[in-house]
Structure 1
Amino acid sequence: MSMLSNGLSGLNASQIALNVVSNNVANSNVAGFTRLEASFSSRIDNGSGWLNAGNGAQVDSVRRITDDYLNNSLWRSTSSYGYNSAYSEYLMTTEQLVANENLSISAGLDGLFSAFNSAAVEPSSIAPRQLVISSSQALADRFNALSANLDIQRTQIGEQVDGMIANANTLFAEVSNLNGKIVEGIANGGNVSALQDQRDETVKQLSQLMEVDVTRQQDGSMTISMSGGQPLVLGTSHATLSSSGGSYQVNIAGQSFDFNGNIGGKMGGILSYSANVLDVTEASLNTIAQQFADDINNQLAAGQDINNPPGAGQPLFSYDPLDPAGSIRVAAGFEPEDLAFGAMGAGPGDNSNLNAVIALKNVHYDDYNAMTGKLAIESSQAIAEMNASKSISDNALAQRDSVSAVNLDEEAMSLMKYQQSYQANAKVVTAADQLFDTLLSMF
């Protein structure tokens, strides 16, 4: 009967292997699916001696073909690419914004100083003075529009980060829920490979948002924390992220931990951009607007207008010190006669103070060009880093897939192998049955 038993064991083992292969093929297009492999062994001898030719084969387990190192590398590279892509996207937008011809402060300065130069020919004429005032307001409008666009970016960032926080909180809950199911399934001897695939895919989605450190526990659960050590998932417990007044916290088990752009991923890239680029650009723009307005106003204060009677120059620009770029404008009620182009005590045709105003031109060009040049260099570097991290991420995915993803050609070969094995074992069973019938016919 050992021949029949061996054949039946081979049939059963081949059937299990065929089921594994068919499951791999069926899931070949499922994101995050990890291929399975049947692990065979010989059945243990029952102690009947050397005359026993063996006890057949069995499938000991169906195991996931996975590599923790490759998974961790994929998650880290996914986080790095998420960070660089988000950072460079916003940075490139800002660079294009400040260089836009319709918003460029340099173009506004061109218009204003061109008007100043025209006025130098006939400093007492009203028409060129009116052009100076309208050009001044046009420049102020550019400051206002550029500042407003940066404010819009800040609003968009807040909304996007809030959305990412909500998404992250959902993913934390999913991992902790899967932890519970996996631990229970393993304890009951069940097959939890599909649950483990779901958990790995959830961690991958989470790694797009932030860099995570993953530790696998002996009971099958995962512990997840931020790169800075802040806990996110502990068994079936999970954290929640929150934001308040521009600060961000991790809340778990009654404890709160702060975090910022150092968390990596898309969320980290956006927060880093906000702190390192948007804040700096807004501050620079405000400084440029304030210094420009102060320099022009101070120089005009040193001259004489053409009012009757003549007086010291009045401020051409006004602004809110808390928001210079967003509030700069031509001072209310400012008239062409108020422009103090002449020196104190000089006649109405004098333009010596106007020449001093014109001499201020290069300083403010240099300030704005320095800001735009810095953004252009940083944007170029950020794009290069994004492309490099994209390549690394793609390679990490390819390496992970070379081990864990379904290869249909390999599965086709396995299908043929196990099919042939099944057919051969079926012949063994048939032969054993025929031999048994022959034996019975002898009596």
Structure 2
Amino acid sequence: MSVNSLFDIGSTSLRAVGKKIDVTSQNIANAESEGYRRRRVSLSSRSVATTGLYASNGAQNVTSSGVGIEQFERVRDGMLVAARNDAQSGESAAREEGRVLGVLEGALATDTDTSLSASLQGLADGFSTLANNPESQGVRESVLGRARQLTDTFGRLDQRLGELTTNTENALAGNVEKANGLLDKVASLNEQIESARAGGSPDYAAEDQRDQTIKELSKLLPVEAQENRSDGYTLTVDGMTVVQGDDATTLSTENKNDPSKPTRVEFGDTGVAFEPSEEGGGEIGAQARLLNDTLPGVQKDLDGLAESVVEDVNEEHRKGFDQNGDDREDFFKPSGTTAGNIELNVDGPKDIAAVAGDGSGNPLPGDTTPAQTIADVASDLTTGATDLAVGVGTQVQEAAAKEEAQAAVGERVQAQIEDVSGVSVDQQLSSLIEQQQQFAASAQVLTTAREVSSTLLSIAR
């Protein structure tokens, strides 16, 4: 081995180990940086030049060339990242559904005096008391008060549902705008990263930022990322491409604030709507389900219950006579009943029909069958109100269970990601000590080469 070879080996070793020290220091410095993926340098022996071959023993005359950087890479496991993003999408969807339905559950709560079931039972108790005291004006006033409380409760719940729907629509519009910003950011980072690669200097910080952006996006949408070396990440949502290279597709909300049409999230100008499955889909998927299925379903049940109250109570009320001697009168206004427009048809306490007739158009003061029957009907209808509240409560519990399950999956996968790609400060410090020793050894090679060179020069003189 020549002196020149010693200088060559020592200098290349110093440069290579110096790069490793730089990378290790970078890892330690960014141990707490969110989204940072550990960097790694791989070394390999530099190519060996062969100058000849002796036929006698097969020995080669070689020139040693030291060590070089084989690969400088950012450590990342794409499958784990995809699994984490998928779990996060499901967790965010369940949390959003639980949040909205929790508000609705509070409005439908059955453990308050102003609840729908309590108001219906109050009407039932009022008519039951009226059956025992058909002539009492105080009892009749009480029945009217309880009936007004019931219509007010229906109206309050209808208004609360409307507010919840409007708030969810606004939240959906805000999330779509946020998602569009993140999609544009990924497209911009694609361009930046590919430009850096083309220039021979990969921008790993931008790659970290791109992964972090996709992580944020997965909270809103069930996004999938596929890496394409020619133009960066291609992002898809339910098979629709939303980012390809530096081009991003803008999402939009259609039919907003039009109750006659479902709220749709569409992909650009394609006319194709994002249709989330029964669960998951990020916050946008959850909000789309709430607006198109869950909240309209509750509204339908509430309107159906209001209609049943009107029809069933009116049917029995028409069979009785009021204190004015009139029969065939409705207790509630009958046409087009919904929870939002249910109204009383009776004007005062004397208009309440409490007694039956003799079949000849005359009242029977001692027969209060109509009042008692209305009491029974109203009491039976409390089951529908209770079922409505229980149904929403069950959905809240299911959403909480899904959120917990997805959070557990996400935490487990994130721990695996940290094992693969995260920075262990203790491990990096240990590596730094080894690299310092390697650097010192490489420096010693150069020192030895210098000493040998000096000795040879002194001999030559």
The TM tier, using the shorter chain, reads over 0.9
Where 2:35 maps in the other structure, the secondary structure is: coil
1:337 aligns with 2:355: no
1:354 aligns with 2:354: no
> What amino acid is the match of 1:341?
A
Gap change, CA 1:320 and 1:237, over 3 Å in 2: farther
Match of 1:306 in 2: 323
Contact 2:121 2:382 in 1 (8 A): no
1:328 aligns with 2:342: yes
Deviation sequence 1:124-177 (CA, Å, 0-9, x none): 221100100011001111111111111111011011101100001001101111
1:424 aligns with 2:432: no
Per-residue deviation at 1:235?
Answer: 1.2
Match of 1:204 in 2: 215
User: Which of 94, 104, 115 is residue 94 of structure 1 equivalent to?
Assistant: 104
In 2, the alpha carbon distance for the partners of 1:90 and 1:319 equals 32
Match of 1:24 in 2: 27
Match of 1:373 in 2: 390
| Count of matched residue positions in the alignment of Structure 1 and Structure 2 | 437
Gap change, CA 1:334 and 1:59, over 3 Å in 2: same
Match of 1:392 in 2: 409
> What amino acid is the match of 2:97?
Y
1:245 aligns with 2:245: no
Gap change, CA 1:285 and 1:269, over 3 Å in 2: same
Gaps of 5+ in 2: 53-59, 257-262
Deviation sequence 1:337-361 (CA, Å, 0-9, x none): 1001111222445412112212213
Contact 2:131 2:368 in 1 (8 A): yes
Contact 2:169 2:291 in 1 (8 A): no
Contact 2:254 2:266 in 1 (8 A): no
Where 1:232 maps in the other structure, the secondary structure is: strand
Per-residue deviation at 1:316?
Answer: 2.3
Contact 2:193 2:203 in 1 (8 A): yes
Where 1:326 maps in the other structure, the secondary structure is: coil
Per-residue deviation at 1:217?
Answer: 1.0
Taking structure 2 as the reference length, the TM-score comes to: 0.90
In 1, the alpha carbon distance for the partners of 2:323 and 2:335 equals 28
Gap change, CA 1:320 and 1:428, over 3 Å in 2: farther
> What amino acid is the match of 1:84?
A
Per-residue deviation at 1:52?
Answer: 4.4
Where 2:340 maps in the other structure, the secondary structure is: helix
Match of 2:275 in 1: 260
In 1, the alpha carbon distance for the partners of 2:331 and 2:282 equals 47
In 1, the alpha carbon distance for the partners of 2:113 and 2:23 equals 63
1:6 aligns with 2:9: yes
> What amino acid is the match of 1:156?
N
Contact 1:91 1:379 in 2 (8 A): yes
Per-residue deviation at 1:34?
Answer: 0.8
RMSD: 1.9
> What amino acid is the match of 1:378?
Q
Gaps of 5+ in 1: none
Where 1:32 maps in the other structure, the secondary structure is: coil
Gap change, CA 1:165 and 1:319, over 3 Å in 2: farther
Per-residue deviation at 1:276?
Answer: 3.1
In 1, the alpha carbon distance for the partners of 2:363 and 2:147 equals 25
Deviation sequence 1:257-288 (CA, Å, 0-9, x none): 21233371111112223333211111101110
Per-residue deviation at 1:379?
Answer: 2.4
Gap change, CA 1:376 and 1:214, over 3 Å in 2: same
Gap change, CA 1:271 and 1:250, over 3 Å in 2: closer
